[in-house]
Amino acid sequence: MKYLPLLAAVLALAGCAKSTEKKAELAVQDFVRNRASDAKHYYPGKFRSQPYTRRDSLLYLAQMAEINGLPAPPAPTAADTARIGLLIYHDYRDQTPDGILVRDSGEYVVSPTGQVRLLIAESVRRRRLAR
pLDDT given at position 3: 47
Q: Which amino acid is at 128?
A: R
At 24-56, the pLDDT tens digits run 999 999 999 998 878 888 899 999 999 999 999
Percent of the chain with pLDDT over 90: 53
pTM above 0.85, yes or no: no
Q: Is the pLDDT of residue 78 over 50?
A: yes
88 has which bridge partners? Answer: 49, 108
In contact, 22 and 30? CB cutoff 8 Å: no
Q: Is the pLDDT of residue 7 over 60?
A: no
Q: Mean pLDDT across the stretch 69-96?
A: 90
Judged on CB neighbours under 10 Å (0-12, 13-18, 19+), 13 is exposed
Percent of the chain with pLDDT over 70: 87
**What does each C-alpha distance from 49 to 6, 20, 40, 75 come to in angstroms?**
35, 10, 25, 25
Q: Mean pLDDT across the stretch 60-79?
A: 90
